[in-house]
A and B are shown apart, each in its own frame.
Chain A
Amino acid sequence: MDEFTATASAPLTNSIGLHARPSVKLTKLAKTFASQIEVAPGEDGPWVDAKSIVKVMAVKAAKGTTLYFRAKGPDARAALAALRDLVALNFLADEADLGEEAPGNAHG
């Protein structure tokens, strides 16, 4: 089997980690690439399929975790750059994940 040719990493800086909405975005983006892409909460894994939201959510990566990506395939580099940017950009600055808001703040 081929080796994974490319890797990238980025820390999770949003306030609550790799949550519902960030996971939806991450897997949707991963699915736009042909390459096989995996994500892990550490350099040594455990690696899971970055196109499966069930598996990505199961990583339960908390805030402050550095996410590692690896990919193999025709667009591996582009895929990794895009995924790293998504994480580095705070999932397009989507700080407020669903349910993140503290109770009592709702009516400001």
Chain B
Amino acid sequence: MFRVRSPQDFGAGVFFMLFGVAGLFFARNLAFGSTEHMGPGYFPVLLNVGIVTIGAVVALRALAVDGPPIEGVAWRGPIFVLASILLFAFLIERAGLVVTTAVLTLVAAYARREAKLLENLLLAAGLALMAVVLFVFALRQPMPIWWWG
């Protein structure tokens, strides 16, 4: 049977193929047109066929040539960091900059297993103050400070 000799490349190849197939799938309703009058689907189809091809070559090559493994994934970091960004998106217009900054800081801080609550509360307060002074007062960015007004 085949043996994957370069897991990282194999993964990349599969990823490319998935992306390209999805790209082709979602372009299925776009008119292809002709060389003279390229339709909206012409360029996307061309590119995605290219991506699938490259993906296939990369994946096949990974069966033949040795390469590095895929590094382990520690999910804690990405989950907390992404959650802090999404919370910012959700809160900024509803709760204002101060509360939002504090929430972002606290959630982001727990991306580290060793986070200490008191230390991070202080950090959150400091960053909230800085954000208001810097963004609202100094740079006059249009964003609410509190949830009213």
- Co-complex (A, B): no
Question: A residues bordering B, Cβ < 8 Å?
Answer: none
